[in-house]
Amino acid sequence: MLRHALRVLLPLAFVLGAIACTSREAQQPAPSTEAASLPSVTIMTFNVENLFDTSDDPGKDDKTFLPLARKQTEAHRQSCAEIQNSYWRDQCLSWDWSDEILDKKMKVVADAILQVDNGRGPDILAMQEVENLNVLETLRTRYLQAAGYRPAILIEGRDERGIDVAFLTRLDVVGAPKLHNIHFDGVSDARVADTRGILEATFRLPGGALLTGYAVHFPAPYHPTEMRVTAYEFLQQLRSTLPPDRAVFAAGDFNTTSTEDKAKSMLARFARPHWTVVHETGTPGKGTTYYDRDGTWSFLDMILWSPARQPAPGTSWSLRAHSVRIANNTAAQKQADGTPARFELPSGSGVSDHWPLAFELESK
C-alpha cells in the first residue's frame, strides 16, 4: 500500500517541482532579448573624400574632377600649373574623372555606408566633401536604395573647392535645416575661402523626441590651430541655443590631429567639458585616418554626443554601451599596410582617406 502511494506521489512531486521551476523562470527577465527590442538609432560620420560629379560648377575650383577630354586647353594647363603641391597638380592635369570612374566611386562609397545595420546603412549619416546636391542625390537614389533615405540635406557653402557637408537620413526632419558660417577674426580671405559652415538639422526620433545634429568639417590641419579653436567655440554657441529637452550630436571631420591634441589639449578644453566624445567610450581602433604629415593615427573624424539636459517624460535617449565602431570592413577600404585606401586614378581603387565612425543611441 505504502509502495503504491509512493509510486503515485513521487511523479506528482516531480511535476509540481517542474511547474514551480518554470514559473520562477518565467518571472526572470531576459536581458538580451529586452535590450535588443529597445528602439535604437544608428549615427555615422563619413568623409567621402572628393565626391564630385563630372561637370564644371561655376564659381567653384573643381577643375581636377573633370573628364580628361575637357582638360586639353592651355587655360586648364596654366591653371593646374599654379598648384604648388605636386600630387594635386598631377591630379589636375592627368586625372580622367569620367562617368565610369564616378560610377566606381559611388559604388565603393555606398558599400562602405551599407556595411552597418545589416546592409541598410545608418539612420543618420553626416557626410563631408560632397560637391553638390546633384551628386548626393545620385548616390542616394541609384546606389543607396537599400537604405531608404529621404531626400538629401545639403546647403551650398562658401568653400572655394565646392566641398560641402550634408546629411542623409531615414528619419523625419523637423523644420528647415540651416548652414551656419563660422566667423574667423583676423584671418585672411584666402584661408576663410578654404572653410565650411556647420550644417544644422533636427530629426524626430522613434517615440517623438527631437534630436538636433550638426554636420561639421573644421579647418584643415595646415591652417592655424586658432581657426579650429574658433570652430569648436562656435559649435558650442550653437548648442547653447537649443532648448533643454533637446538631445544633440555633432559629427564630422574635426581635423584635430592626435599631435595637435597632445600639444594643445584640444579635446580637454573644447569637447569633453560639454560633450561625450563617442570614440572614447569604447576601443574602436587607433584612429579613422593616418595622417601622413606627421606619421600618426588620428580620430580626425569624431562624433560628439550630449543628451537632453531636461528630457521630457518617456523620451530619454542615451549612448548604447559598446556600440561605437569604425566601419572599415569592405575590401576596398584598406591598403596593404592597413591604412585607409584613398580613391586613386586611373585604377579607380580605394574609397577614401577616412574611415566612417558609427555608434547607436537607445531609448530608455
Q: Which three cell numbers stand for residue 306?
A: 550630449
What pLDDT was estimated at residue 33? 38
* Domain presence at residue 66: yes
For residue 185, pLDDT over 90 is answered with yes
Chain position carrying cell 565650411 = 196
* Domain presence at residue 11: no
* Domain presence at residue 329: yes
Which is it for strands 210-217 and 247-253: parallel, antiparallel or unpaired? Answer: parallel
User: In b/e form, how buried is each residue of 243-277, taking b as 16+ CB within 10 angstroms?
Assistant: eeebbbbbbbbbbbbbebbeebebbeebbeeebbb
Q: Which of 241, 192, 234 is nearest to 212 (CA)?
A: 241
* Domain presence at residue 218: yes
**pLDDT (average), residues 143-152:** 98
Report the C-alpha gap between 229 and 58 in whole angstroms.
32
What pLDDT was estimated at residue 142? 98
For residue 167, pLDDT over 60 is answered with yes
DSSP per-residue codes, 278-314: GGGGS---S-SEEETTTTEEE--EEEEEE--SSPPTT
* Domain presence at residue 123: yes
* Domain presence at residue 284: yes
Type of residue found at 201:
A
Q: Kindly list the distances between the CA atom of residue 351 and the CA atoms of 86, 96, 104, 112, 282, in Å, as whole numbers in the listed order.
A: 21, 17, 9, 8, 25
Residue of higher predicted confidence among 349 and 22 = 349
For residue 38, pLDDT over 70 is answered with no
Looking at residue 69, which CATH number applies to its domain? 3.60.10.10
Q: How many CB atoms lie within 10 A of CB 169?
A: 23
Report the percentage of the chain scoring pLDDT > 70: 89
Reported as a single tens digit per residue, the pLDDT across 97-141 is 999 999 999 999 999 999 999 999 999 999 999 999 999 999 999
* Domain presence at residue 24: no
Report the C-alpha gap between 274 and 244 in whole angstroms.
14
For residue 170, pLDDT over 80 is answered with yes
Burial of 50 per CB tally in 10 Å (0-12, 13-18, 19+): buried
What residues contact 201, with CB distance under 8 A and at least 6 apart? 153, 167, 169, 173, 177, 178, 212, 213, 215
Chain position carrying cell 566641398 = 163
> What's the predicted TM-score (pTM) here?
0.88
* Domain presence at residue 170: yes
Reported as a single tens digit per residue, the pLDDT across 230-249 is 999 999 999 999 999 999 99
Q: What is the mean pLDDT of the chain?
A: 90
For residue 19, pLDDT over 70 is answered with no
For residue 264, pLDDT over 70 is answered with yes
Q: pLDDT tier at 23 (50, 70, 90 boundaries)? A: very low
Q: Which three cell numbers stand for residue 202?
A: 533636427
Q: Count of domains in the chain?
A: 1
Residue 306, domain extent: 41-363
Q: Which of 334, 360, 363, 362 is nearest to 116 (CA)?
A: 360
- Return the bridge partners of 306, or none: 248
